[in-house]
Amino acid sequence: MRRNWQAGRVYQEGRKKSDPWLPTMVAYAQYWRDVPGQAEPKRGFVSLGVCRTRTIAERKAAEKLEELGINSTQTFRESTSNITFKEQGEIWLQSLSNRKRNPLEQTTIDTRRYALDKWMYPFFGEWYLSDATNLAMKEFVDHISSLAPATIRDYVNIVKAVVASARDVRGEPVFMRDWDDEFIDVPEVDEQNQPTVDRGEMTAILQDAEEPYCTLYALLAGCGPMRAGEALGLDIRSIHEDFRTLEIVQKAKRGELQDHMKTKNADSRHGRVVDLSEPLAAMLRDFVGGRTGGLVFCKPDGSQLMQRDILKHSLHPILKKLGLEQGGFNIFRRFRITELETAEVPAALQHTWSGHAKSHVSEVYKKLLKQREWRLRWAEKAGTAFTLPGHQEAAAEVPNGKSGKILEFRKVG
């Protein structure tokens, strides 16, 4: 139960309440304050300065207690809560994996876990969650000041999320915070460098790449676009017979095949497909050869290719040799999105191919999955925008794409 409102007991040092009030002597107020983790409150004292009368001292005492939030319901709730930052952090992590609304990937949760274990828990230790204030956050930012600005921003947001996740039995936040980023001194994040390449540079990368990387890079830069994990998780049985359409139903992630995509819009249950131009489809068909199942891009034993190995042994050495800025697989995705925009591909089709979240509710009603012939014509019109190894420039627009039959897909692994 919450204690009754308190006015504080005013007094002058060394004098009893029955003694006459001295108008030139400093006055004090005594009050009770709650301490997190302790059942019994502790005495608190505050100086009121020189007060001419006891009445004036009592009025100042009430003002001081109001400033300190002693009679605040919020202050009482926080001060009587004994949950620690680490305990709440574990509750928050568990909620990320269990929530039904916008569940996070396990890799994202693992990243949060690393940040908490490496940086937050050692700093906050066994602090009570109520001690996570603007001042504490400022000290935390100073503690991690050697990290990149974007990383500091992300870690600060994790702390904020942990504090905000504490709820009472009614689902109301226990710790209300008015975070002041200026006081906390969170560094501003400059526009992030996003390496990309032009058409000539993309052609040079493909000419220098050996298989299976050449076909992989061409696919990433010349279709949907696909994400690297989606391409590495592509199964031969999810390709149409004419090799013009791919169904994106799984992705490769750190040695595992996952049947959920990065975004809901990229999930096959919501209609994610990508379409290829004829030259790119021919290149993919030649690469697959007589195989009828398994991963399109894999090691000789059929196991996954790892993104880090591809970067280390192929892409980064090629970029260095060509004198290009080092980047990851996103250089292909940025290239393709730019080319689709330049080719004036309808925005709704770009969203369908790329797996981006819907930009407008009307896109829900655009049944583009049933318009394959129309999609293929746009895939051919957009082309690849680069020269495929052993080919001339991308073919001109074809009036109609070939129709194809979807082969039955069976999950692998």
Helix or strand holding residue 81 (H, E): none
Mean pLDDT of 242-264: 78
Question: What CA–CA distance (Å, rounded) separates 403 from 409?
Answer: 18
Say whether pLDDT at 352 is over 70.
yes
The verdict on domain 85-184 having CATH code 1.10.150 is yes
Question: What CA–CA distance (Å, rounded) separates 289 from 137?
Answer: 58
pLDDT for residue 174: 81
Q: Which of 22-26, 53-57, 388-392 has the highest mean pLDDT?
A: 22-26
Q: What is the pTM of this model?
A: 0.59
Tens-place pLDDT, residues 10-52:
899 999 888 999 999 999 988 877 666 566 777 888 899 999 9
Angle, helices 330-342/347-354, rounded to nearest 10 degrees: 160
Say whether pLDDT at 251 is over 70.
yes
Q: Tokens for 369, please give them.
A: 């999955």
Residue range 199-382 forms a domain whose CATH class is: mainly alpha
**Domain segments of the chain: what residues?**
9-73, 85-184, 199-382
Assess whether the region 85-184 and the region 199-382 belong to the same CATH fold.
no
Say whether pLDDT at 121 is over 50.
yes
Give me the residues paired with residue 246 across strands: 239, 274
Strands 9-12 and 245-247: unpaired
Burial class (CB in 10 A: 0-12, 13-18, 19+), 252: buried
Question: What CA–CA distance (Å, rounded) separates 87 from 129?
Answer: 9
Give 82 or 77, the one with higher predicted confidence: 82
